[in-house]
Chain A
Amino acid sequence: MFRKRPRTPATTLSGKSDFFDDLPEDLLVFILCKLSSSASSPSDLVNVLITCKRLNRLGLHPLVLSKAGAKAFAIKAKNWSESADRFLKLCANAGNVEASYTLGMIRFYCLENRGSGASLMAKAAIKSHAPALYSLAVIQFNGSGGSKSDKNLQAGVALCARAAFLGHVDALRELGHCFQDGYGARQNIAQGRRFLVQANARELASVLRYLSSPAWRLLNPPCVSGSGCEGLLSDFGCNVPAPEAHPVNRFLRDWFESGTGGLSEGLRLCSHGGCGRPETRAHEFRRCSVCGMVNYCSRGCQALDWKLRHKAECMPIERWFDEVGGAGDNGADGDGGMVEVEEIE
């Protein structure tokens, strides 16, 4: 694999100035691949493109682009531009799954280009990209980008199942609730509960892995119980931060909240902070039936937000709401206090 170009004996005595020319292309590509795959922000990779023509050419080599990690596409919403779009498309064409997913989400929700967005996400989903499968499932459940009749619950469940099979925690939760309620699949309460337990177990496992990494120990002294607890594991007294969301969710939220993109009249954002998805038509999302103040795109977001903040602040605004769909207790699987949601016409 290594084409060894022999070092020319005519290297100058100082050796320095000829170094860059001597370095074989495949080594440079390897270095750039490592850089792109471990990039923590777009500038890590793009910096290299600006240095000189040779690195510019090599930095845009399909191999380098295809290896870029998700964080390399963590663009700030206010910086979005045509060229950002072009760069992401380039990476997606090089086979980068994260780029496909990221661009798909941005085009679907922010640029409102439903067809292109969905097909990019599908491209990622075909390559078994779990977040893409889950996002497509949410779109199917809500009939996003179309009318209420475009909802396809069975398709949603099928996509969720595939994402869940790959270990996606939100998809597992979503699937669990679908089975418990007979939503898009034949009701099977025991199976639903199993999925919910599995979701919690996976979340715990990923958090433990994160906890045992040197980076975590360096940055965080042991948590004091009760301080800043997040994630559903707080039920078990595990006060650990929620798993990191995909950078594109941050992008969506910033896009709509900061006003870079316009949210049409009457449309709302999913009230879960880590989601960022907007409604694509009025009354698409479901609201909390107790207080009616918050809306969610999916069960997964509802469950997380309940634990993260809403449980503390949810209050019935009118008494008669209490009789309709009050808090359902699912203490067995640790999602205790889950609130029913209903879709308003």
Chain B
Amino acid sequence: MADDGVNTKVEAVSKATTETIELRTEDGGVFDVDKPVAMEFLILKSFYEDEGRVFDKTSIRLPNVKQLELSKVIEYCTRALEFGAKSAAAAGDKDAERMVRQEREGFEAEFVDELSNEMLKELILAVNFLDIKEMLDFLIRSVANRIRNRSVAYVRQFFDIENDFTPQEEDQIHQENAWAFEGVDAD
């Protein structure tokens, strides 16, 4: 994470003290992203750091990412950086730390509530491509939360899985695993 990102209050449109990178998505969207936020995308970070490129303003094309996903990703990363700065400032003060944590949990809950299952899956693929560890962890947790204690049919529908068991195999599996079942949500 860039050091200047922690000190400045990062806002999406500030041009005064932070540099921005232009990102172009697969479907023609163009985003001006602050450098600290963009550096969260490890794929970009390694692009700049490993190759020792000079940071210039040429725009970067992201072939596997669409507009909607990128805007969501930027939103999340920007807020995540803000929370990071706030909890660093609150370090040592238990109450303040707890408040920041609660605020963050509130934001994350709201963020993920708005996402449809489709959107969630698309985001995971995008974030995996951009290599953003923290957000990926968050999204994966959300998926796990969504499929926990749901019926088999729901999980199949969530992932768009085809049931490739033969009826006999399916029976066998049900029998083998009967011990685990009691009280599954009826979706």
Contact = CB atoms under 8 A, between A and B. Distances in A.
Interface stretch (B68-76, B77-85, B120-128): B120-128
A329 interface: no
A83 B140 contact: no
Interface string A71-104: 0000110011101100100000000000000000
A40 interface: yes
A184 to B, nearest CB: 39
Contact of A44 (B124, B131, B148, B162): B148
A312 to B, nearest CB: 34
Contact of A50 (B124, B144, B149, B152): B152
A: interface residue count bin: 35 or more
A79 B180 contact: yes
Taking chain B's interface residues, is the majority helix, strand, or loop, or is none over half, making it mixed? helix
A35 interface: yes
Nearest to B163: A52
Interface of A: 2, 4, 6-7, 16-17, 19-20, 22-24, 27, 30-31, 34-35, 38-56, 75-76, 79-81, 83-84, 87, 212, 214
A76 B151 CA distance: 19
Contacts of B156: 51-52
A2 B149 CA distance: 28
Interface string B148-187: 1111100110011111110000100111111111111000
A19 to B, nearest CB: 5
Given A2-B131, A34-B140, A46-B181, 20 more contacts: A2-B128, A19-B159, A19-B160, A31-B140, A31-B143, A35-B144, A38-B141, A38-B148, A40-B148, A41-B149, A43-B181, A44-B149, A47-B151, A51-B156, A54-B164, A55-B161, A80-B179, A83-B175, A83-B177, A214-B105
